[in-house]
């Protein structure tokens, strides 16, 4: 690394440190809302907002308790929820590929930022928890400890839902949620399983005439 690159790196880190110090709930909510608007306008440009969203999600646990609760109580929008669900899934896959606990933790924080979680039986939550459990086991970390850690940063109702869901569904497989291990050109991924009748043709829909 030459001097110019070192200087840019230092300036970039200084800028991020200042942003972290200045961050509060109102700024956080405004930024994540702006990102969700950009996402909803063109979902194909998801990669363009990835870094900004990653930095923002990583800043959430640095907020104080009052500010975090204010962020979590903000009225969710469909665009924000969909964007964060996609970000959480991609972070989960990246965590498995890179054996990265930090990236997996980011996936869980993105999940809690999607909106209030009041019912541990919510199907989207169950599916996410089972995938996170599988990802944690793949990279050798305790999924319950991971959920307990994140639960310490969120509202009590959300924490209880996360912990209850993990306890109740820890033994469930990703296959039971409609997923299976897959591969792409980039490496590992969680792939949707083929419909039952594609692997069991005699039990599927009748062929067209």
Q: What is the pLDDT of residues 91-133, one digit of tens each?
A: 999 999 999 999 999 999 999 999 888 888 888 899 999 999 9
Position 77 scores a pLDDT of 87
pLDDT at position 163 over 90: yes
Q: What is the mean pLDDT of the chain?
A: 84
Instruction: Look at the alpha carbons of 106, 124, 23, 68 in this order and tell me if their dihedral is positive or negative.
Output: negative
Name the residue among 90, 121, 125, 82 with its Cα closest to residue 106: 90
The rounded distance, in Å, linking the Cα atoms of 166 and 104 is 15
The rounded distance, in Å, linking the Cα atoms of 85 and 134 is 17
- Match 């700024």 to its residue by tokens: 27
DSSP code for 201: G
pLDDT tens digits, residue range 165-192? 999 998 999 999 999 999 999 999 999 9
Helix and strand numbers, DSSP H then E, in the chain:
10, 2
**To the nearest whole percent, how much of the chain has pLDDT over 70?**
82
Instruction: Look at the alpha carbons of 77, 167, 151, 133 in this order and tell me if their dihedral is positive or negative.
Output: negative
DSSP code for 81: H
């Amino acid at each position: 690394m030459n001097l110019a690159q070192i200087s840019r790196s230092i300036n970039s880190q200084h800028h991020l440190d200042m942003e972290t110090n200045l961050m509060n709930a109102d700024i956080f909510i405004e930024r994540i809302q702006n990102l969700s608007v950009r996402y909803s306008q063109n979902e194909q440009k998801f990669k363009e907002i990835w870094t900004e969203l990653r930095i923002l999600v990583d800043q959430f646990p640095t907020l104080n308790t009052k500010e975090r609760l204010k962020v979590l109580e903000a009225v969710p929008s469909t665009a924000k929820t969909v964007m964060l669900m996609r970000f959480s899934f991609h972070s989960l896959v990246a965590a498995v590929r890179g054996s990265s606990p930090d990236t997996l933790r980011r996936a869980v924080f993105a999940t809690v930022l999607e909106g209030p979680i009041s019912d541990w039986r919510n199907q989207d939550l169950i599916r996410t928890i089972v995938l996170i459990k599988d990802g944690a086991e793949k990279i050798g970390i305790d999924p319950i400890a991971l959920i307990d850690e994140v639960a310490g940063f969120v509202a009590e109702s959300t924490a209880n839902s996360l912990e209850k869901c993990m306890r109740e569904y820890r033994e469930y497989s990703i296959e039971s949620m409609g997923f299976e291990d897959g591969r792409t050109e980039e490496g590992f991924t969680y792939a949707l399983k083929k419909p039952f009748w594609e692997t069991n043709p005699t039990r599927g829909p009748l062929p067209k005439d």
